[in-house]
Amino acid sequence: MIPCMVFSLLYILLFGNISQPIQQTLYDMLNGAGHMWFLPMLFWCFVGVWVIEKLRLKPRWVLPLLLATSLVSFLPLPFRMGIALYYMVFFYVGYILQKEDVSLDRFYTLKHCLAATAAFLVLFPTLTLLKADLGSLIGVGYLVDNQLVIKSIVISLSKLMQIIYASVGLLMLLAWVGYAEGKRKKSLSQWIIRFGNLCMGVYLLQQFILKGLYNHTALPEILGCYWLPWVGFVIALIGSVCISHLLVKTKAGRFLIG
């Protein structure tokens, strides 16, 4: 939460409304301004797992409960608690796999990789289009405001579709990474490990660079809509890596992103 507040304040000063009331600024700092929404969401996931462990709840009861709460993650809860309801089920599954030392080696085969990829390539576009159709029902007014229950059901169905294709996508990536790791003969290069240690800083800094490039330079007019995303990606990646590398050499930088 400390990096969230520090970088949110910087984000507001650079790109936000600096004339807004101080209480709004304080709320935005805790809520996560811009892309910092991820940090309070992650904070609540850690708090959620801590509560679950303190209550000694079994995973067979927790997982259905978290799946149910993820379907109502559209609720306008403060400090990103609503978004945390969606991500909590993924967070908890990863936590249990690590805590129980569950071996997934038998799934790291080419057959499982191809099957997961095929499933994702079918489910992702199909469910995305269905989600868009459901969203259009609300957008064009077929479901009016007084049909609150029906609207909630439709939005929950959209969330369920998102959870399905997101889960399959995660399984696909996990299978391919596990398969590649099983085939790897050499030890992991140290530069990859050092690069991975900068990922927090890259996440925090990349959007500052992109917003600066897109909104405060002539780059969009020079490059056009086709080249701009790619050039912006390269500049943001290199820039955020370099700045993060310099930051972690300082005590304050290591505290915030190290």
Q: Residues with Cβ < 8 Å from 235, sequence gap 6 or more?
A: 209, 213
d(CA 111, CA 175): 10
Count the alpha carbons within 13 Å of 14 in the hemisphere toward its beta carbon: 18
Mind listing the pLDDT tens digit of every residue in the chain (258 residues)?
999 999 999 999 999 888 889 999 999 999 999 999 999 999 999 999 999 999 999 999 999 999 999 998 888 888 999 999 999 999 999 999 999 999 899 999 999 999 999 999 999 999 999 888 877 766 545 544 556 667 778 888 889 999 999 999 999 999 999 999 988 888 878 888 888 889 999 999 999 999 999 999 999 999 998 999 999 999 999 999 999 999 999 999 999 988
Q: Compute the Cα dihedral for 243, 244, 249, 254 and give only its sign.
A: positive
- What secondary structure letter does DSSP report for 20? S
Position 139 scores a pLDDT of 56
Is the pTM above the cut of 0.75?
A: yes
CA distances 108 to 162, 197, 234, Å, are 24, 26, 32
Write out pLDDT tens, residues 59-89: 999 999 999 999 988 888 889 999 999 999 9
Position 148 scores a pLDDT of 66
d(CA 92, CA 99): 10
Write out pLDDT tens, residues 129-164: 988 887 776 654 554 455 666 777 888 888 999 999
- Angle of helix 59-70 versus helix 81-99 axis, rounded to 10: 150
Position 74 scores a pLDDT of 85
Residue where the block lists tokens 């927790």? 62
End-to-end CA distance of the chain: 14
d(CA 124, CA 91): 21
Q: Residues with Cβ < 8 Å from 78, sequence gap 6 or more?
A: 31
d(CA 94, CA 196): 19
